[in-house]
């Protein structure tokens, strides 16, 4: 894929995300409350859902991001032009929406008939970031310089022996790099202030706050112009709440719930080895931002595969990549960590960038208060949002 296409896709998925977060056809908040707060299904939240039924809202949004990344398109490319100024028009049918439905059914049939119901064919298989799949080989690509390897996609080499011990050594080096187990055990909570910038702020910096309590509670609030946007993991459940979204609270499920749990656990990494299972190493050499990295992979409680990239020299965590399962394919999400600073003897990243098919955002901390008093209310669902 050409660099220009990648940049266009980033712009497109940013627009896609804004559209998804403001979908006008969502039913009323009172109807949501009547469902007694189970994860809301796509057909309960949105109108005119014909194929992608029976999946939670967060997974439905993920599938939209998957379409955007696979075809390099944004919301109004698939929806009617009038939807840009009238949210209700997103429910209108268009030829492209109808084609997308047929393509999903086609993929399901191919995977079921030819690959034993294993999902090996997706939108990205043929489209590779463009609207129309190429049917003629490109000599320029065949004989040109190959694109750089994507470190997120690296796989364990064939016939690699059991590498759990090697993975354990890399994780132990990380624990030492951030301060050691004894020092980490002294950090029981923290609060932080900083800034957030992303597609939902037009990349303007807005205030951000973080509240964390050991071993795995985390709330992150971004103070957007239209109201607060808060992501929380309370130790068991995760959700995203925002007053200015048609879906005021989205319960996280699947890979997104696994990710929210892991983000909370990485805030207090002393028990990182227990956070994931089936650890292994044995990956080929790889670099992240030109820094040689050692890679380990583990599996989260919900089955999500997670890769962790550690600086080969310092041992600090450079990147986390997780692969979120959706109805139409796996979505990669990676978080790049940088600007580590010591806080009460523990090194913490003061900057991280989240990149997903739905856009990109950057959080930068300006102040961290270790072992601060964090009210239990910071990890309580909004009123009427308790799970059954």
Cα–Cα separations (whole angstroms), residue 12 to 8, 66, 77, 233, 283: 6, 12, 9, 29, 33
Residues belonging to the chain? 388
Report d(CA 98, CA 202) in Å as an integer: 31
Specify if 386 maps to a domain: no
* Residue 171 near residue 279, CB atoms below 8 Å: yes
**Domain shared by 196 and 272, yes or no:** yes
* Residue 74 near residue 18, CB atoms below 8 Å: no
**Domain shared by 272 and 177, yes or no:** yes
Per-residue pLDDT for the chain (388 aa), expressed as one digit of tens each? 333 344 344 444 444 433 433 333 333 333 333 334 688 898 888 888 899 999 998 998 888 889 988 998 877 788 888 777 776 677 788 889 899 999 999 999 999 999 999 999 999 999 988 999 999 999 999 999 998 889 999 888 777 788 999 999 999 999 999 999 999 999 999 999 999 999 889 999 999 999 999 999 999 999 998 899 999 999 999 999 986 665 778 899 999 999 999 999 999 999 999 999 999 999 999 999 999 999 999 999 999 999 999 999 999 999 999 999 999 999 999 999 999 999 999 999 999 999 998 889 999 999 999 999 999 999 999 875 444 3
Specify if 388 maps to a domain: no
- How many domains in the chain? 2
Specify if 76 maps to a domain: yes
**Domain shared by 133 and 176, yes or no:** no
Specify if 151 maps to a domain: no
Specify if 160 maps to a domain: no
- How is residue 205 written in tokens? 């910096």
**Domain shared by 71 and 217, yes or no:** no
**Angle, vertex CA 195, rays to CA 189 and CA 196, nearest 5:** 105
β-strands 291-299, 206-213 pairing:
unpaired
CATH number at residue 254: 2.50.20.10
Specify if 384 maps to a domain: no
**Domain shared by 281 and 132, yes or no:** no
Structural domain including 289 reads: 166-379
């Amino acid at each position: 894929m050409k660099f220009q296409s990648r940049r266009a896709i980033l712009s497109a998925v940013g627009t896609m995300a804004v559209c998804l977060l403001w979908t006008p056809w969502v039913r009323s908040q009172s109807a949501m409350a009547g469902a007694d707060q189970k994860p809301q299904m796509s057909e309960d939240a949105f109108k005119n859902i014909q194929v992608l039924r029976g999946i939670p809202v967060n997974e439905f949004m993920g599938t939209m991001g998957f379409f955007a990344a696979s075809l390099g398109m944004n919301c109004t490319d698939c929806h009617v032009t009038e939807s840009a100024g009238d949210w209700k028009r997103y429910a209108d049918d268009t030829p492209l929406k109808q084609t997308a439905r047929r393509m999903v059914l086609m993929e399901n049939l191919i995977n079921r008939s030819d690959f034993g119901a294993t999902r090996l064919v997706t939108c990205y298989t043929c489209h590779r970031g463009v609207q129309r799949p190429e049917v003629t080989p490109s000599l320029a690509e065949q004989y040109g310089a190959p694109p750089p390897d994507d470190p997120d996609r690296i796989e364990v080499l064939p016939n690699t022996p059991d590498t759990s011990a090697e993975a354990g050594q890399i994780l132990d080096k990380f624990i030492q790099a951030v301060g050691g187990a004894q020092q980490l055990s002294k950090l029981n909570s923290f609060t932080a202030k900083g800034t957030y910038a992303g597609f939902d702020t037009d990349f303007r910096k807005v205030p951000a706050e973080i509240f964390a309590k050991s071993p795995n509670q985390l709330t992150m609030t971004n103070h957007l112009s239209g109201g607060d946007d808060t992501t929380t993991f309370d130790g068991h459940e995760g959700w995203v709440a925002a007053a200015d979204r048609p879906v005021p609270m989205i319960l996280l499920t699947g890979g997104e719930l696994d990710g929210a749990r892991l983000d909370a656990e990485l805030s207090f990494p002393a028990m990182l080895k227990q956070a994931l299972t089936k650890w292994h190493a044995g990956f080929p050499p790889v670099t992240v931002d030109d820094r040689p990295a050692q890679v380990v992979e583990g599996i989260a409680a919900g089955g999500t595969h997670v890769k962790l990239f550690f600086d080969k020299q310092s041992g600090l965590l450079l990147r986390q990549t997780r692969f979120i399962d959706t109805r139409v394919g796996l979505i990669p999400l990676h978080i790049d960590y940088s600007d580590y600073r010591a806080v009460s003897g523990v090194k913490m990243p003061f900057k991280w960038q989240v990149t997903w098919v739905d856009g990109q955002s950057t959080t930068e901390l300006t102040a961290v208060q270790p072992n601060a008093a964090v009210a239990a209310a910071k990890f309580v669902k909004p009123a009427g949002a308790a799970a059954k």
